Chain A
Amino acid sequence: MSRGSFLPVVGAFLVFVLGWQAVVVLGDFPPFILPGPAAVAASFVTGWTDGTIPPHLGATLVEVGLGFAVGAGLALVVGYTLARSALVERILSPYLVAAQATPILALAPLMALWFGPGLLGKVVICALIVFFPVAVYTMVGIRAVDARLLELGRALRATRLQVLTTLEVPAALPSIFGGMRVGVTLAVVGAIVGEWAGAEKGLGVLINLARGSLFDIPLVFATLLTISLLGIVLYLIVVLIERRLVGAR
């Protein structure tokens, strides 16, 4: 970010915080309905310093990381196959779309039933939700590879593996990363939904605890803030890797 664009970003954030405070004051909401920014900030700091939030964040992070790795990994393979085989696409795509159209919220309890309340169920849900965007973006990216470059590869007697690694993947990389940007934010949603359906640890569990037995609404908001920040940080990591690998073209 350049220095010039820094000021508007900070300004917009201040406007958001002030607007929030104004709603709380004007609406005269009590903290257990809508806490003000100061209360949430205080709860956020306490939650981090007294060790409430970190272990839950750690659990969610592991679920997201593993789920994303498994889901995106499978999606790359399937997306490539869909792009290169019309038959496979015709056979598989109805199932893929159907799986994507089924709300993950409805699937989560099933996953908890099948895979138990442990890590596995959450990883499956994250992988499921990450899979679709990455597979579709990979398919689109591979299909869009310039046929003239493929002809060049043929003229230079590139093997199938060489075509894949030196032509198709580099050419499709910007598109694949587009899918990963969507996928990584969805992975966070998947983990939280999975935790809601039954878990012992995780940010989703913390929200349930804070809202229910603790009735600490500022902590609910502090947890929501943590989840948003997690999403933003993971997204930025993907963008950074993308900049490294795709670079200037």
Chain B
Amino acid sequence: MTDRRPRPVRVSGVELSFPSRDGGRLPVLDGVGLDIPGGGIVALIGPNGSGKSTLLRVIAGLLHPQAGVVTLGDLPIVAPDPAIGLVFQEPRLLPWRSAAANITYPLELAGWPPERRANRLAELTELVALDPGVVSNRPAELSGGTSQRVALARALALEPEVLLLDEPFSALDALSRERFDLELLRLWDRAGTTIVLVTHSIAEAILVADRVVVLSPRPGRVVADIDVELARPRSLGDLDAAIVSHTAARIRAHLGDPAAAGSLELAS
């Protein structure tokens, strides 16, 4: 979509804490640094509470770190930016709007005229392979997978350079999730956006990403940054390759999983 190459995202020295109930501070991110090349795919993995989603919100400009900085190209990100699209864990659709009106919601907020919105809607439904028969349905009438497709289309509406995904397919069953992972890759191929994917699944991380970044338990720090040396385009069959087992074992070891040593099991 965008002709110019996406700018790299640089996270450096990000520290963030939330106020805790006893009046102190609860550190969530502890000096996180991360370089994401423009157009690349990086998976963020870590135990619950490692601050993966928090880090994603910092990159999205929704949370302000107490220290450190996130930049897109040369520009520091201090507020939500149209160049960054965000997909949440749940579809988060507006229940009173049709699927189509949910997809074009960002365009409406940005002041696009109706005709231009309609054209973009057609591109987007095609891009995320949304069944045209359901675009006039309300979210309550959509399946979980279809809802997440709508959410993905909404995140892509303004042609972002960076797409942030917060465990987007975790509510889907395992088979649908694998299908969505492959569709995400196809979409990345076409749209050329940088992708940061937060996931709980080692298999998903390896299938999708160039690099898997492992965060420690709270407060989150980067404890490993592992390249996935798997040629593209990838398919589900690639998950059987020896290099995958090896990569998975390395990730697992950094996740502090005691079963890591011998286990080659990939399901998360």
Residues of A within 8 A of B (CB): 148-149, 151-152, 154-159, 162, 166-167, 170-171, 173, 246-249
Contact = CB atoms under 8 A, between A and B. Distances in A.
A148 B109 contact: no
For the complex, would chain B's binding face be called helix, strand, loop or mixed by DSSP majority? Answer: loop
Q: Which of B62, B92, B94 has the most CB of A within 10 A?
A: B94
Interface string B47-65: 0000000000000101000
Interface stretch (B80-88, B215-223, B260-268): B80-88
B96 A247 contact: yes
A58 B26 CA distance: 65
9 contacts: A154-B80, A155-B86, A157-B80, A157-B82, A157-B110, A166-B108, A166-B109, A171-B96, A248-B138
A162 B80 contact: no
For the complex, would chain A's binding face be called helix, strand, loop or mixed by DSSP majority? Answer: helix
A157 B92 contact: no
Interface in B102-120: 105-106, 108-110
Contacts of B96: 170-171, 173, 246-247, 249
Contacts, number: 43
A170 B96 CA distance: 7
Given A166-B109, A249-B138, A249-B140, A155 B80 contact: yes
A148 B106 CA distance: 16
B95 interface: yes
Nearest to B157: A156
A155 B60 contact: yes
Contact of A156 (B90, B95, B106, B138): B106
Interface string B64-87: 000000000000000110100010
A156 B154 CA distance: 10
B94 A156 contact: no
A147 to B, nearest CB: 11
